[in-house]
Amino acid sequence: MTAAVIDGITILKNEPLSKYTFTRTGGPADQLAFPRSVEEVEALLQYASRQHLPVTVIGNASNLIVRDGGIRGLTLILTAMAKITVDGDQVTAQAGARLIDTTEAAYRAGLSDFEFACGIPGSIGGAVYMNAGAYGGEIKDILVAATVLTQAGELKRYDNAGMAFSYRHSIVQDTGDVVLQATFQLTPAPKPDIRARMDKLNARRASKQPLEYPSCGSVFKRPVGHYVGPMIQQADLQGHKIGGAQISMKHAGFIVNINHATATDYMAMIRYVQKNVLAKFGVQLEPEVRIIGTEQAL
């Protein structure tokens, strides 16, 4: 690994992304930067444009698989942009703010409706990007507006309708815009009630999800009329291993890294599950996890 400084911003060269992903897998980024402000994001996009580099944007890398060949061009990880502010019954958070921290800020302000996300390990930008949800709540239910930077380098504001939310989808997946911050409309409520709900959901999550192992969270989208975990169990796949990756014994909808798994192991497991579930149930599972990067060269 080497580093360069561009416009006052440190850019790491050939940096292993396994250091940052929740699966602890992934090849190197050709160039990697951690912008601290909108201005630095703009400067880095201008740099990439001058150098004709493709740009990839990552948040907390919790629901992400980076292939073992790594990522070409310039990769931006936005976790240094993590400011959270409260104004009345609205909370505004920058893209790199963790959902866990944002829900805690809402709790401290006596604001409810964000509890569903209290245990999700992702960032605000990633949550808006994929319309993250859990326990009956989704980002679309509370988002007022999101500020993005377009591929043309222009700041743009989407209101809730403009985000075109659907299940695990938003318009920025189609446009390539970079989410910079988001504002959420919440509801005042007694703080003990908010805390009780957060504690209940966190306990439920800890009891059902394999938090003791590296993973990318829930791997597959839920098909209409079905639940992924039970289908994988009924197909007798739970516990199956490929390399260092295993279908979790605690929750079959998770693939965990039990022994130095590679992204290639993860991808092979995803294909294995899809093939077997399709054969048994006639259901084609679609990945919920974001998969990026290039295959490892042979």
Outline where 190-262 has alpha helix (H): 191-208, 228-234
Q: Which of 168, 170, 248, 290 is catalytic?
A: 168
Which positions ≥6 away from 212 have C-beta within 8 Å?
none
Please confirm, yes or no, whether 123 is among the known catalytic residues.
no
Q: On the CB side of 93, how many CA atoms lie within 13 Å of its CA? A: 29
Catalytic residue among 18, 62, 112, 218: 218
The DSSP symbol for 14 reads E
The residue annotated as part of the active site, out of 112, 123, 288, 290, is 288
Question: 97-132 in b/e burial notation, b at 16+ Cβ within 10 A?
Answer: bbbbebbbbbbebbbbbbbbbbbbbbbbbbbbbbbb
What are the structure tokens assigned to 176, written together? 């390539």
Active site residue 288: yes
18, 296 Cβ separation under 8 angstroms? no
Task: Write the DSSP string, 102-114.
Answer: HHHHHHHTTEES-
Q: Is 218 a catalytic residue?
A: yes
Residues 6+ apart with CB under 8 A from 59: 77, 78, 79, 95, 96, 122, 123, 124, 125, 126, 129
Q: What tokens were used for 149?
A: 């930077």
Using an 8 Å Cβ cutoff, are 264 and 69 in contact?
A: no
Residues serving a catalytic function are: 168, 218, 288
